[in-house]
Every structure is written in C-alpha cells, then in structure tokens.
Amino acid sequence: MSCPIGNDVSLAARLLREGRLVAFGTETVYGLGANALDAAAVARVFEAKRRPTFDPLIVHISNRDALGDIVERMPPAALQLADAFWPGPLTLVLPKREVIPDLVTSGRPTVGVRIPASEMTRRLLSEAGVPIAAPSANTFGRISPTTAAHVAEQLGDAIDYILDCGPCGVGIESAVVDLTEDVPLLLRPGGTTLEDLESVAGRVNVVTSSDGGSQRAPGMLSRHYSPRTPLVVADQQDLDNVTGQIGLLSFHDPVNRDRFARIEVLSKRGDLVEAAANFFAALRRLDDAGLDHIVATPFPMTGLGRALNDRLRRAAARE
C-alpha cells in the first residue's frame, strides 16, 4: 500500500521526530528525510533507497542557529558562502561534531549541511526541531524526483508520509562544496553555479576523477540519474547508430523533428534556469514512453549548464 501524500506540516514534523521516514519537497529535488540524530531512522533511509552506506547523506537545517550543534567550525570561506547563498541550493562539507552518527557521514569526519530555500520545507525543519538527513527521494542511481507523485512512484511503499510541497523550482540538486582545505572544492555541480561560487569565494577548485575525486566525493558515481531506456548524448554518438523509436530531450526548440517519435523541449527560448526546472520530469516522461532510445542534446558549459551536463553524462553511462 502506498503511503499518504498531503500538506500537513505538523504531522510530517511529528513523524520525523518519532523516527519515521518523510519525503518532502525542497527548491532542488524531493528529499527522503529522517532525524539525523537517530541512527536507526537513518538506517531505514539507506534501506528504503537501497543506497550503499559508503555514500553520505546531507543534513538539512532551518536556520544558522542549528549549525553550531552540527559542525566543529566554519572557516571564513564557508561563512562567506553561507551568507551569500543560504537559504538555497548549496551544501557545505565541514568538520562534523560527534553528535552526528557515523552512518550519516559514512564514517567520514565531515558532514554536508544545507539550509533549503522553500518556505514550507523550512517550516517542516523548524517544527521537527532536529536536523534532518535527506538524500534525494529516488531509488539509488535512478532519476531524481521533482514532484510528490515521482516519490510515490518509486518509494511509496517504503516510507511513512510524503509532504507535497509542489514542483521543485530549481529542479537539480544542490552544489556540494568541500571547505575542509584552503581552497573550496566543488564536489558536485548543482543549483548554485560555479560562477556564483567564485564571485564570492574567489578561486574554487573542481573535483576530477583523476585527483582522488572518488575519495573526496564518494557519491559521484559514473552511472547515476539513470533512465531504464538507453540514453545517448547527441554529440557523443552518430545518430545513424541509434535505431527504433527515438525520443529527444532537447535543450531548446529542435531544428529537425522528423526522426523522433517523441520530443521534450526543456526551454523553447534556450534558458538554462527553465531547462533545469523541467529536466528530471521530462526525462521521466521519455523514460515512461516505451521508446528504444533517448537522445539528449548537450548544454552550454556555463551557469546551470555545468550541472545539467554532469547529470546527462551520468544518465548516459551504462557501467
């Protein structure tokens, strides 16, 4: 039986306090929340998502007052970034306090923390009165959810309540930035762009797989956000090799519509912000359309295009 969906913030907060699992919307994607201080509740999150325990969870708080209980210290660059982008789609990785269970951080000495922007989400966090650990509310490795219905489809049987906060405005996950060394390190491109981060913090390094990236960024697996339908990024592969019924995931209005059985246009006017908001829902619709292949056009490598290309590359990976 699928769990209830509703907009009862007080009920959702009470369930979280009782150690139950509640999915809720944020400005980025829907999260699957549990009391971050309750290791048994957190264990149920890993189980519900079928997520490997080497991949740590982000802790969500309603305001800066809660930060001192969770992290050891805020280096100057972290303070600058928090001042500029919180509440918002930015996760800061900082030295953790002992109260955060090892399961949340996969045994790391650091914890990822963020203050989400949506008003309803912050009301939930504030009423819950405890920090909330929440990964994206999808089965591990699959397409991220941007509506309550997406969550119900994949996880409805495994959780206690879905707080319907409406469709997510940003549409892709937060940027994850590690602040444990002198120069901030971007572990995952996301809703706060690299350009925005650099405008506040100066230089920001970007993690790569060749410089020990998988140790610093354990969740950045080459295959992720995966549709069941094989996906190819258009300029990576000659379209002549793509046969059968083809769906097109197009950044802007496509030049040629003839070859495609179904087309999803992310932003007619080629706007990256609009494209990001539509991205995961459009990918899901194509995945549900019974096609043989999905072809996706790449995004320009600026602004949110960096995060969108990252999601596309991992969604296209077969291994």
The binder of 78, among Mg ion, ligand TXA, none, by C-beta within 5 to 8 A per type, is none
* Residue 62 or 136 with smaller CB distance to Mg ion: 136
Minimum distance, C-beta of residue 138 to ligand TXA, in the bound complex (Å) = 8
Minimum distance, C-beta of residue 144 to Mg ion, in the bound complex (Å) = 6
The binder of 26, among ligand TXA, Mg ion, none, by C-beta within 5 to 8 A per type, is ligand TXA
Residue nearest to Mg ion (CB): 136
| Residue 150 and residue 2 in contact, taking contact as beta carbons nearer than 8 Å | no
DSSP 6: E
* Residue 136 or 229 with smaller CB distance to Mg ion: 136
Binding site for ligand TXA (CB under 6 A): 26, 28-29, 31, 55-58, 89, 91, 93, 105, 108, 110-112, 134-136, 173-174, 176, 187-188, 217-220
Minimum distance, C-beta of residue 114 to ligand TXA, in the bound complex (Å) = 6
Minimum distance, C-beta of residue 206 to ligand TXA, in the bound complex (Å) = 14
* Residue 112 or 247 with smaller CB distance to ligand TXA: 112
Residue nearest to ligand TXA (CB): 219
Residue 250, interface with Mg ion (CB under 5 A)?
no
List of residues 6+ apart from 276 with CB closer than 8 A: 170, 171, 172, 191, 304, 307, 308
CA distance 22 to 161: 5
Minimum distance, C-beta of residue 269 to Mg ion, in the bound complex (Å) = 29
The binder of 218, among ligand TXA, Mg ion, none, by C-beta within 5 to 8 A per type, is ligand TXA
What is the residue-wise DSSP string for 56-87? Answer: PPEEE-SSGGGGGGTBS---HHHHHHHHHH-S
| Contact pattern from residue 135 through residue 154 relative to Mg ion, giving x for each residue in contact according to CB under 5 A and a dash for the rest | -x------------------
CA distance 57 to 225: 17
Full strand arrangement of the beta sheet holding 175-178: 5-6, 161-163, 22-24, 31-35, 132-133, 58-60, 110-114, 90-95, 175-178, 185-188, 205-206
* Residue 176 or 316 with smaller CB distance to ligand TXA: 176
The binder of 108, among ligand TXA, Mg ion, none, by C-beta within 5 to 8 A per type, is ligand TXA
Minimum distance, C-beta of residue 256 to ligand TXA, in the bound complex (Å) = 35
Strands 175-178 and 161-163: unpaired
The two three-digit tokens of residue 206, written as one number = 């970007």
Helix (H), strand (E) at residue 120 = helix 119-128
List of residues 6+ apart from 245 with CB closer than 8 A: 261, 262, 290, 291, 292, 293
3-state secondary structure of 126: helix
User: Following CA atoms 28, 88, 276, 217 in sequence, which dihedral angle do they give, to the nearest 10 degrees?
Assistant: -70
Minimum distance, C-beta of residue 92 to ligand TXA, in the bound complex (Å) = 10
Binding-site ranges for Mg ion (CB under 5 A): 136
